[in-house]
A and B are shown apart, each in its own frame.
Chain A
Amino acid sequence: MTDAAVPPAAPPVPAAALPRPKARINWIRLAPWLYTLGLFVIWEAAVRLFELPPTLLPAPTRVFQAIVQYWSPIWKNSLQTLYTTTLGFALAIVAGLGIGLFVGWSKTIYAGLYPLMIGFNAIPKVALVPILVIWFGIGTVPAVLTAFLISFFPIVVNVATGLATIEPETEDVLRALGAKKLDIMLKVGIPRSMPYFFGSLKVAITLAFVGSVVSETVASNYGLGNMMSSAQSQFNVPLVFAGLMMLAVEGIAMYALMAWIERRMTGWAHRSTMGN
């Protein structure tokens, strides 16, 4: 109960006499922040205790100092990485939805293409970067494409699975009414695969960051990946960690955004049994 809930007609009572509304601290909401803070504290303490040189492991304070010191390049490169990642991710959404719908359309296509896709997904995408460089040169394009290639697979699998696992009874009821394949897909398959789709976005965005940063590290003059690898060659370890920190922030922000979208779009799936 907050003070606002007290009816204004209540007789004035000396503040000290009021039964103190118990300050309820929401520990669950606070926990992520506290744990993060705890990690930094332990990290700082360990560095000081063991007197680790900043070239080995810089303390968090030293990393934040680097962030302030190099803010301009860090900001520019962070934006570049965010740009390549989201672009690759957007492509992955379009292609993933398209291919997912195609693969899930029929049990035959699903059976035929699934092993192929597993095989493709087993290829480490880092191995593709040199090929992309041959085709497109270094820079933004290979980073976008690597982010795309690495993140579209979970989207495809989830959309296709959502379509391919329609309950046979539902299909029977509709087919008995004269429903065509397209009807069943539009009325049941696609709405039903949406929770799978939005769920896969959380996984996909994280992977997209892996893809873009790997590509920037080996084949670009921009982006956090490139910034970190050049900082590393100059033994500027605090700057490397500053880059890592920015990546973590971007990753968490995008993940949270995807989780929020998922909740907004498919609330029903969390209430009904189908969601799990």
Chain B
Amino acid sequence: MSPLVSIDNVDMRYGGPDGTLAVAGLNMKIAKGDFCAVVGPSGCGKSTLMKLVTGLHIPQSGVVIVAGRQVTEPVSIVGMAFQNPTMLPWRTTLENILLPLEIVERHRKRLRRHKREYVEKAEHLLETVGLKGFGSKFPWQLSGGMQQRANLCRALIHEPDLLMLDEPFGALDAFTREELWCVIRDLHAEQGVTIVLVTHDLRESVFLADRIFVMSARPGRIISEHTVPFARPRELSLLYDGAFNDMVQTLHGEIASARAAA
């Protein structure tokens, strides 16, 4: 079976021929249903990688293929969530979650007539992330962690094949972050969605992912790839496991030397 995402020898430069070379010689393959994490030093091109896969940026050289098609424009089979939840403050949480349906071509035509069905789906998602009954609240009435949960619902409402998360838990406190790790873990188990998680939190990457890609300093490329051996379902107690910490330490060493090489 061909991979869902395949990045082949991609270069991406910002701001014209003399601009910043963000990634160079990038190669990566992500199979359907995989949970991948991308880790690397700050500014190495992790967010750039996300934007290449979603079609927000088109590379100057190399090919990005998603679901069998070369990416030349935004691909709407992707859901995205960033560190900043960017909920629209004039819409209720439920209306915020329904927003992608007003955009995505195949849903926007059906939305008006099948409103109930979609609202039910949104409410089901809210329940899944532990926000049952909060749909009518405005985002500014929710805590940061709750907003991020709603953000995940928004990223999932149009049933994307691929969920791209760019440091989604960076701004949260440790306990909320661990709670949300479990939310993501369960979402992945239930919905079978392919997930790419960009993070600088190595424990997060080892706890959640099946495969971990380590990027070099800018211009970013993949310098190593790890398969996470821990069986699913994983419990939070894994965080205190010896083998778990060894793996975190290995990753830490790799990134430290990648930074030193820069």
| Chain A residues packing against B (C-beta within 8 Å) | 167, 169-170, 172-179, 183, 187-188, 191-192, 194, 266, 268-269, 271-274
Q: Is B127 an interface residue (CB 8 A)?
A: no
The reply to whether the CB of B149 lies closer than 8 angstroms to some CB of chain A is: no
Is the Cβ of B103 less than 8 Å from the Cβ of A177? yes
Asked if B199 lies at the interface with its beta carbon under 8 angstroms from chain A, I say no
Q: Find residues 9-55 in chain B having any chain A CB closer than 8 Å to their own CB.
A: 51, 54-55
Cβ of B247 within 8 Å of any chain A Cβ, yes or no, is: no
- Assess A176 versus B78: contact at CB under 8 Å? Given A187-B99, A269-B89, A274-B89: yes
A177 neighbours in B (Cβ, 8 Å): 74, 76, 100, 103-104, 158
Nearest-neighbor residue (CB-CB) of B76 within chain A: A178
- A191 touching B90 in the complex, CB below 8 Å, given contacts A177-B76, A271-B140: yes
B138 touches A272 (CB 8 A): yes
**Binary A-proximity of B76-100 (CB < 8 A = 1, otherwise 0):** 1010111010101110000000011
Q: Decide if A169 touches B140 in the complex (CB within 8 Å).
A: no
Tell me, yes or no, whether B171 is within 8 Å of chain A by CB: no
Count chain A CB atoms within 10 A of each CB in B56, B74, B90, B158 and give the residue with the most: B90
Range for the number of chain B residues in contact with chain A: 20 to 34
Listed by A's residue number, 30 A-B pairs whose Cβ atoms lie within 8 Å are A167-B84, A169-B86, A170-B86, A172-B54, A172-B56, A172-B80, A172-B82, A173-B86, A173-B155, A175-B74, A176-B54, A176-B56, A176-B78, A176-B80, A177-B74, A177-B104, A178-B73, A178-B74, A178-B104, A183-B103, A187-B102, A187-B103, A188-B88, A191-B90, A192-B90, A268-B90, A271-B140, A271-B141, A272-B89, A274-B89
Q: Which residues of B contact A172 (CB under 8 A)?
A: 51, 54, 56, 80, 82
Q: Is B105 an interface residue (CB 8 A)?
A: yes
Q: Report the bound CA distance from A45 to B86 in whole Å.
A: 58
Contact A169-B55, Cβ < 8 Å, known A177-B158, A183-B103, A272-B139: no
Cα distance, A175 to B100, chains bound together (Å): 10
Q: A169-B84, A176-B55 are in contact. List 15 more A-B contacts (CB 8 A).
A: A169-B82, A169-B86, A172-B80, A173-B86, A176-B54, A176-B75, A177-B158, A178-B76, A178-B103, A188-B88, A266-B90, A271-B141, A272-B89, A272-B140, A274-B89
Closest CB pairs A-B (n = 9): A272-B89, A272-B140, A176-B54, A178-B76, A170-B86, A177-B103, A169-B82, A179-B103, A268-B90
B138 near A268: Cβ-Cβ < 8 Å? yes
Evaluate contact between B84 and A175: CB separation under 8 angstroms: no
Shortest CB distance B159–A (Å): 12
Please give, as numbers and ranges, the residues of chain A lying within 8 Å of B89 by CB-CB distance. Answer: 268-269, 271-272, 274
B99 surroundings in chain A (CB, below 8 A): 174, 187
Report the minimal beta-carbon distance from B91 to chain A, rounded to whole angstroms: 8
Which of A173, A191, A272, A274 gathers most chain B CB within 10 Å?
A: A173
State in angstroms the CA–CA spacing of A192 and B87 once bound together.
Answer: 12
Q: Which residue from chain B places its CB closest to the CB of A173 in the assembled complex?
A: B80
